[in-house]
Structure 1
Amino acid sequence: MFEVGFWELALVGVVALVVFGPERLPRVARETALWVRKARTMMASVKEEINHELDLQDLKQSLLEQKKLPNTATDNLNQNILRRRQATEILAEQFEPGEAAPEKEPHD
């Protein structure tokens, strides 16, 4: 995340020693380390929660797509059945029971 070299770390140590003094520096360093640890833990928790939410959102989207598939297939099947019924009705109207098929005249 942050790249801190040796000289940067040494400079921070010297400034902290001057500001806090040799008596308070160990306690301040301990408290600072505790706060840094808490911040890292919170960041990891937030990152994990966001990843979990994104995974749930992807799963919900996938589930919705899967639910749409059977409806689409059923709609297509119903349309095919309706077309076949209409074609059958048209053929039934042309050839009603009791009537003979129209005879063709012979060609010369």
Structure 2
Amino acid sequence: MFDIGFTELLLVGLVALLVLGPERLPGAVRTTGLWVGRLKRSFSNIKAEVEREIGADEIRRQLHNERILDLEREMKQSIMPPATTTGSRDAGSEPAASSPAEPASVDSRGAPPEQTPEPPRPAEPAPRPDRSPEP
């Protein structure tokens, strides 16, 4: 930190001994050590707090960027819905319906089997115009 050698420390110690005297020198050194320790702890606490704030700001910035990317994806999906794949069927052909000549399958009671309805598909949420990104 400071470029202080052994000779400089010895000189400061001799001057302190002459000025304060042998009775008050140990108390002065102890008090000086306590104050230096308090300053070091204060600076380390301030440094840790600043590093936490910088980390929190970086996390906030990343979350904000992710929100913007999500909004951008939603806008693209609302403008151009994803293309559906038709598999082996042609785009213009429809599935073949059973002909009236074919018998419908029946259960033990002689009634046609019950059709289970497909569960409703969740609708895509429409982008809200009042939604603005948070800073």
Any stretches of 5+ residues in structure 2 without a counterpart?
Answer: 82-135
After superposition, where does 1:15-26 map in structure 2 within 5 Å? Answer: 15-26=15-26
With CA pairs under 8 Å and 6+ residues apart, which has the higher RCO, 1 or 2? 2
- Paired with 1:44 and 1:2, the residues of 2 have a C-alpha distance of 18
- Paired with 1:10 and 1:48, the residues of 2 have a C-alpha distance of 35
Any stretches of 5+ residues in structure 1 without a counterpart?
Answer: 82-108
After TM superposition, which residue ranges in structure 1, 4 or more long, deviate above 4 angstroms?
none
For normalisation by structure 1, the TM-score amounts to 0.71
Q: Sequence identity of aligned pairs in percent?
A: 36
How many residue pairs match? The answer is 81
1:61 alignment counterpart: 61
Q: Deviations over 1:59-104 (max 9, x none)?
A: 11011111111100111122224xxxxxxxxxxxxxxxxxxxxxxx
Task: Indicate whether 1:30 and 2:30 are aligned.
Answer: yes
CA-based RMSD: 1.0
- Paired with 2:2 and 2:66, the residues of 1 have a C-alpha distance of 44
1:70 alignment counterpart: 70
Q: Deviations over 1:29-80 (max 9, x none)?
A: 0000000000001010000000011000101101111111110011112222
For normalisation by structure 2, the TM-score amounts to 0.57
Shift of 1:11: 1.2
1:5 alignment counterpart: 5
Shift of 1:3: 3.0
SS, match of residue 80 in structure 2: helix
- Paired with 2:34 and 2:18, the residues of 1 have a C-alpha distance of 21
